[in-house]
């Protein structure tokens, strides 16, 4: 049961992070390709976006691992 | 120094302040296990923050110069968090596991608070209310 719990927590967390990061990074690359002079602003936005998106999947991975180890 | 460089420098500074507080807490309070857990989680969180800053900068540089970008290091950050939890579970007599998880989340309030403070400062400087 612990393995199943860990797999679901990590898998769904990684799925969410993948979709979120993909959207953020895709839009940033599009923006930088169109206007390279806005690189600084766009990379700041990308950094904050990725930071916020990855908070919850990291908790999911950690909790999944604890469920697996105990 | 660009706006991004200033931001990452301030974030690293705040993380180092937090780590210093955790060290002081572990040294001078009776809650050694909790503060050691916070210190472990905070150190890994600092590494994650550093990796995120570096990878974002490299990614934006590659996108601007039309090179092939090399990923943003998501798996490395997950792996770092797992290593912190593995250490905490292996040496449970030294590290409080909940404190480690709270420590792992230290960099996110730093990012959010720094973002709002810098936005407020920018608005104040440009005269927008």
Asked if the model's pLDDT at residue B129 lies above 60, the reply is no
Q: How confident is the model over A21-57, as pLDDT tens digits?
A: 999 999 999 999 898 888 888 989 999 999 999 999 9
Residue among B61, B45, B40 at smallest CA distance from B11: B45
User: Is A59 close to B101, i.e. CB distance below 8 A?
Assistant: yes
B-chain CB neighbours of A61 within 8 Å are 78, 81-82
pTM of this structure: 0.91
B1 in A contact zone (CB under 8 Å) = no
Cα B129 to Cα B80: distance, rounded to the nearest angstrom: 41
Q: How confident is the model over B49-98, as pLDDT tens digits?
A: 999 999 999 998 888 888 887 888 889 999 999 999 999 999 999 999 99
């Amino acid at each position: 049961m612990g393995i199943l719990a860990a797999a679901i927590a990590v898998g769904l967390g990684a799925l969410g992070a993948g979709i979120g990061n993909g959207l953020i990074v895709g839009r940033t690359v599009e923006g930088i390709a169109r206007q390279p002079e806005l690189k600084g602003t766009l990379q700041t936005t990308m950094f904050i976006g990725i930071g916020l998106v990855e908070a919850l999947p990291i908790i999911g991975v950690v909790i999944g691992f604890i469920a697996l180890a105990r | 120094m660009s706006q991004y460089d200033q931001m990452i420098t301030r974030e690293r500074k705040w993380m180092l302040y937090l780590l210093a507080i955790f060290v002081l807490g572990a040294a001078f309070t009776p809650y050694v296990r909790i503060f050691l857990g916070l210190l472990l989680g905070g150190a890994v969180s600092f590494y994650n923050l550093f990796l995120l800053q570096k990878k974002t900068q490299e990614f934006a540089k590659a996108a601007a110069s039309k090179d092939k970008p090399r990923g943003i290091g998501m798996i490395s950050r997950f792996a770092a968090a797992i290593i912190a939890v593995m250490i905490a579970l292996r040496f449970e007599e030294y590290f409080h596991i909940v404190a480690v998880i709270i420590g792992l989340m230290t960099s996110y309030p730093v990012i959010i608070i720094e973002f709002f403070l810098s936005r407020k400062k920018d608005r104040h400087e440009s005269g927008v209310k």
